[in-house]
């Protein structure tokens, strides 16, 4: 449960999609990679792009989708080197930096494949192996992790090894890990109202730890390194085992450099080959063993000690932002009836960088003044025996900061989830294959097409004079304000119509600056001609420049056509170009 509420899941989505592959697609990807430094390159006109278009059924929504994907490939081919990554020659994989380590489990759609082509050019991977990674990723739908448990299950159970009960029960710890909002989520969103505490089958813990005596705060990194060295030496000389956990791989590596006497220490981090993890974990609890590990292995890794005479000491060399993480790391010692010890060895410089968000210069980095202030506060807390309370308050501030905007993220993910569920439901219920394809392509278009064309069609006929036009102007201003708050990637076109029709203004949203006059625009005449209006709209949305745009039409009028003269042009328009959405707003 505590993992579920972390930012990686709660408020995030599982992104479902498909991978398009084929000889034509591989040729296109290679061509784009070769042209990545050519800023004049237009992928849409290339024979390779046309060959890919011919692979798929002709459908009015297919071409805009593919064109958007082609543009995305070009953009990704020019930026793939901006992310921090490395190529593991032994494993033949690209690894990206995730948090504080490198992993091959992170892949960026329509981007990582260019890394493989880059390393193939450098001779680090065989071209045939790089070819295995080529394709076009297409997102279809996003499902919210927070919504998945709400489906019609007969029961929803939350299981955790670190969660404290909401109410004090006999035999349970006094402190619980989930904050008030998270406990409300459990009740309100998931209907979890019953909490049960199950004690360990191994009986009470034999862990030795007291905050006052087993927490050390050192003024700088040299003192911090020395204390870690002292603890490791003391434990190892007694033929016991010590595991030192660091928050990042970088700090682990730096500590190893500054602890030259720990020549026998094993290292365990995210880049450790999988085949070596098991033997290292087993050796970590042998008499005299010293292990330096990243915090990733402090959750769920079973450092089992078969020798009852060996006492495992776990040293946490950082202060966890999450109480859950600290509880998990503590749990690597005193396992299964064995004795164990836990120590916190902290550095003031690290705390000043990662905590103390109530300092006035929080956003300016670790300045000398900030560092002095933090050191002073820590020392006063130690002298007054308030260190535990101070650190708990700082943890609460850090968690509050990490959880900022969580409700908004959960709500946004919920809206995406509902759209995804509606799409799946439509596809499953529909029996017509063409309609199923249309539904899927519409979903893909909403996920993939980031460039948007908004065409506002304004009725300027005589009947709009007076209050209808006044109301239209207000609606126009409100709409443009909402559009600007929605973000970039939008091109706006304003079409006016009466007896005739014309384009009044058009520009990318960031440069768009067209205000309607307070009185009705009269240049297009007085009567109403919907055929003329749709003819101009068709000429706009079918321009080559908007091939990769998602089209939205906003129609503002006070009436309906008197005949069906506009029907043919509307049908022609929809045959030539997919329209994502149409809004018709009536004024009277």
Measured distance CA(241)–CA(291) in Å, rounded? 8
**pLDDT range class, residue 166, cuts 50, 70, 90:** very low
Measured distance CA(150)–CA(153) in Å, rounded? 7
pLDDT in tens, 122-164: 999 999 999 999 999 999 999 999 998 887 787 777 777 655 5
Share of the chain above pLDDT 70, in %: 93
> What is the pLDDT of the chain when averaged over all its residues?
86
Measured distance CA(228)–CA(345) in Å, rounded? 7
Which 3 state secondary structure label does DSSP give 294? strand
Measured distance CA(274)–CA(548) in Å, rounded? 43
Please tell me the predicted confidence (pLDDT) of residue 370. Answer: 84
DSSP 2: T
Instruction: Please give the biggest Cα pair distance in the chain.
Output: 98
Whether 175 shows a pLDDT value over 70: the answer reads no
Please tell me the predicted confidence (pLDDT) of residue 176. Answer: 57
* SS3 per residue for 103-131: ECCCCCCCCHHHHHHHHHHCCCCCHHHHH
pLDDT in tens, 285-321: 999 999 999 998 998 888 988 888 999 999 999 999 8
pLDDT in tens, 60-113: 788 888 988 998 899 899 999 998 888 988 889 999 887 656 788 889 999 999
Nearest to 212 by CA among 337, 328, 343, 105: 343
Whether 397 shows a pLDDT value over 60: the answer reads yes
Half-sphere exposure of 173 (CA within 13 A, CB side): 12
- Give 180's contacts (C-beta < 8 A, 6+ positions apart): none
- Give 12's contacts (C-beta < 8 A, 6+ positions apart): 144, 145, 409, 413
Q: CA 569 → CA 283, 493, 539, distances in Å?
A: 77, 19, 10
pLDDT in tens, 477-486: 988 888 887 6
Cβ count within 10 A of residue 266: 18
Domains of the chain: 1-13+141-198+405-448 (no CATH), 14-140 (no CATH), 207-383 (3.40.50.300), 449-586 (3.40.50.410)
Q: What predicted TM-score, i.e. pTM, was given to this entire model? A: 0.66
**pLDDT range class, residue 335, cuts 50, 70, 90:** confident
Please tell me the predicted confidence (pLDDT) of residue 198. Answer: 73
**pLDDT range class, residue 487, cuts 50, 70, 90:** low
Which 3 state secondary structure label does DSSP give 506? strand
- β-pairing verdict for 490-497 and 93-98: unpaired
Nearest to 5 by CA among 242, 186, 265, 134: 186
């Amino acid at each position: 449960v505590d993992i579920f509420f972390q930012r990686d899941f709660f408020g995030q989505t599982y992104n479902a999609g498909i991978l398009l592959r084929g000889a034509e697609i591989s040729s296109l990807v290679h061509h784009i990679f070769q042209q990545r430094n050519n800023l004049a390159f237009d992928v849409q006109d290339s024979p390779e792009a046309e060959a890919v278009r011919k692979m798929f059924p002709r459908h009015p929504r297919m071409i805009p989708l593919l064109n958007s994907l082609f543009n995305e490939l070009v953009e990704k081919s020019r930026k793939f080197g901006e992310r921090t990554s490395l190529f593991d020659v032994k494993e033949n994989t690209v690894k990206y930096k995730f948090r504080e380590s490198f992993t091959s489990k992170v892949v960026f759609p329509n981007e990582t494949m260019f890394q493989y082509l880059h390393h193939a050019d450098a001779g680090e991977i065989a071209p045939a192996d790089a070819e295995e990674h080529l394709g076009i990723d297409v997102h279809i739908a996003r499902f919210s992790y927070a919504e998945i448990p709400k489906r019609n299950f007969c029961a929803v159970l939350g299981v955790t090894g670190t969660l404290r009960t909401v109410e004090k029960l006999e035999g349970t710890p006094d402190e619980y890990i989930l904050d008030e909002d998270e406990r409300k989520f459990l009740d309100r969103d998931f209907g979890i109202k019953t909490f049960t505490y199950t004690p360990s089958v191994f009986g009470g813990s034999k862990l030795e730890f007291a905050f006052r005596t087993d927490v050390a705060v050192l003024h700088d990194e040299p003192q911090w390194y020395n204390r870690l060295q002292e603890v490791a030496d003391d434990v190892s000389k007694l033929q016991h085992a010590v595991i030192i956990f660091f928050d990042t791989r970088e700090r682990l590596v730096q500590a190893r450099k500054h602890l030259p006497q720990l020549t026998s220490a094993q290292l365990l981090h995210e880049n450790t080959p999988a085949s070596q993890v098991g033997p290292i974990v087993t050796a970590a609890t042998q008499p005299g063993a010293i292990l330096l590990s990243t915090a990733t292995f402090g959750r769920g890794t079973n450092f089992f000690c078969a020798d009852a005479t060996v006492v495992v000491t776990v040293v946490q060399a950082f202060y966890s932002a999450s109480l859950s993480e600290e509880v998990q790391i503590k749990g690597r010692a005193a396992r299964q009836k064995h004795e164990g010890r836990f120590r916190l060895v902290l550095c003031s410089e690290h705390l000043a960088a990662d905590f103390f968000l109530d300092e006035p210069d929080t956003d300016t980095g670790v300045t000398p003044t900030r560092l002095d202030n933090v050191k002073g506060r820590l020392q006063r807390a130690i002298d007054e025996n308030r260190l535990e309370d101070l650190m708990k308050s700082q943890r609460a501030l850090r968690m509050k900061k990490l959880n900022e905007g969580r409700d908004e993220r959960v709500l946004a993910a919920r809206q995406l989830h509902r759209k995804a569920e509606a799409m799946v439901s439509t596809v499953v219920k529909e029996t017509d294959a063409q309609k199923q394809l249309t539904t899927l392509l519409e979903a893909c278009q909403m996920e993939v097409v980031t460039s948007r064309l908004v065409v506002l069609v304004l009725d300027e006929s005589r009947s709009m004079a007076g209050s209808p036009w006044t109301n239209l102007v207000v609606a126009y201003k409100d709409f443009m304000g909402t559009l600007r708050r929605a973000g970039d990637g939008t091109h706006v076109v304003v079409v006016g119509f009466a007896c005739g029709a014309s384009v009044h203004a058009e520009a990318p949203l960031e440069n768009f600056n067209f205000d309607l006059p307070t009185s009705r625009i009269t240049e297009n005449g007085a009567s109403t001609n919907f055929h003329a209006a749709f003819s101009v709209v068709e000429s706009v949305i079918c321009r080559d420049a908007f091939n990769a745009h998602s089209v939205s039409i906003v129609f503002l009028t006070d009436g309906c056509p008197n005949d069906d003269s506009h029907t043919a042009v509307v049908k022609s328009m929809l045959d030539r170009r997919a329209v994502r959405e149409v809004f018709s707003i009536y004024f009277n």
